[in-house]
Amino acid sequence: MASVKPVFTARARLGEGPLWDDGSSRLYWVDIYNHRVHWFDPNTGAADYWAVADTIGAIALTTQNRILMAQRHSLAFLDLQTGETELVQSIEADLPNNRFNDGKCDAAGRFWFGSMSRVGPEASLYRYDPDGTLQVMETDLTISNGLGWSPDQKRFYLADSPLQQIFVYDFDLGSGAIANRRVHIDLTAGNAFPDGLTVDAEGCLWVAMWDGWGLQRFDPEGQKMAQIDMPVQRPTSCTFGGPKLQTLYITTASVGLSETEIEQSFYSGDLFALSTDVCGSPTHAFQEMP
């Protein structure tokens, strides 16, 4: 396997939530604490960002040339032409120790996103449907993270980072229901924490390991297959992109690192890429109602 290489110098505080737009051949991602939605064109090296007025935990492409954002305590749209934002709905505004974190769309165009809590298991997982309804899908989480689905759409994955566990649920694509939660990957024996993840076409999970200096790949049964080392301490998330979905893009963070740790991981906060011999799962857009 090829080595991981930096492809864009972002120096993000908390890079997260990468997603690939096949239509524009661009990668979109966020810098949570700098309140930015970034885009990067790997073909030309061009890049830019939109600055918004709040933290952004996760984003989703939509079918109307705008991006759906999970911000601190709300959902909002970002217009890609004007840069203006439009509030959709306030959520968890009564929980000041919470903010929204990871999220992505399922194959039916529903947006799944979760919160994180600084004071214990007060976070939840939500599903926002194209008809504008909001469903609570899971509760009593600490940091909802690492969402993903198996290629056959029968499994849903969710990490709770402080627990160092990745759960798997039975998933029904038609109804959007999840059931029968069980531990799929237990990482409590190590010192790193599962952050964002993606699932490839073979059903294997690629997991960014916060404080783990790299990623780990697991087979569909949850057995570790590979360790992918990186020159940064805090990888945060990953997604497949490129014309054949064979390039793994990886976001990273610099937040919370000491000066000495920054010196040891100089590229912290930058965007990385890894050429692979497997295909990833496609990015799904939020299916806005006409």
pLDDT at 99: 97
Kindly list the domain boundaries of the chain, sorted by start residue.
Answer: 5-275
pLDDT-above-70 percentage for the chain: 100
Percent of the chain at pLDDT above 90?
A: 95
pLDDT at 207 > cutoff 90: yes
Question: Which CATH fold topology does 5-275 show?
Answer: Neuraminidase (2.120.10)
The pLDDT value recorded for residue 141 is 98
> Would you say 280 and 240 are in contact if contact means Cβ atoms under 8 Å apart?
yes
Q: Place 63 in a pLDDT band, splitting at 50, 70 and 90.
A: confident
Per-residue pLDDT at 1 exceeds 70: no
Whether the predicted pLDDT of 180 surpasses 70: yes
Residues belonging to the active site: 195
Predicted pLDDT of residue 290: 75
Q: What is the mean pLDDT of the chain?
A: 96
pLDDT interval class at 101 (50, 70, 90): very high
pTM: predicted TM-score of the whole model, two decimal places: 0.97
- Residue 22, pLDDT score: 95
The C-alpha atoms of residue 194 and residue 212 are separated, in whole angstroms, by 9
- Give the mean model confidence (pLDDT) for residues 254-269: 92
pLDDT tens sequence across 14-54: 999 999 999 999 999 999 999 999 999 999 999 999 999 99
DSSP character string of the chain: -PPPEEEE----SBEEEEEEETTTTEEEEEETTTTEEEEE-TTT--EEEEE-SS-EEEEEEBSSSEEEEEESSEEEEEETTT--EEEEEE-STT-TTEEEEEEEE-TTSPEEEEEEESSSS-EEEEEE-TTS-EEEEEEEESBEEEEEE-TTS-EEEEEEGGGTEEEEEEEETTTTEEEEEEEEEE-TTSS-EEEEEEEBTTS-EEEEEETTTEEEEE-TTS-EEEEEE-SSS-EEEEEEETTTT-EEEEEEB-TT--HHHHHHTTTTT-EEEEE-SS-BPPP--B----
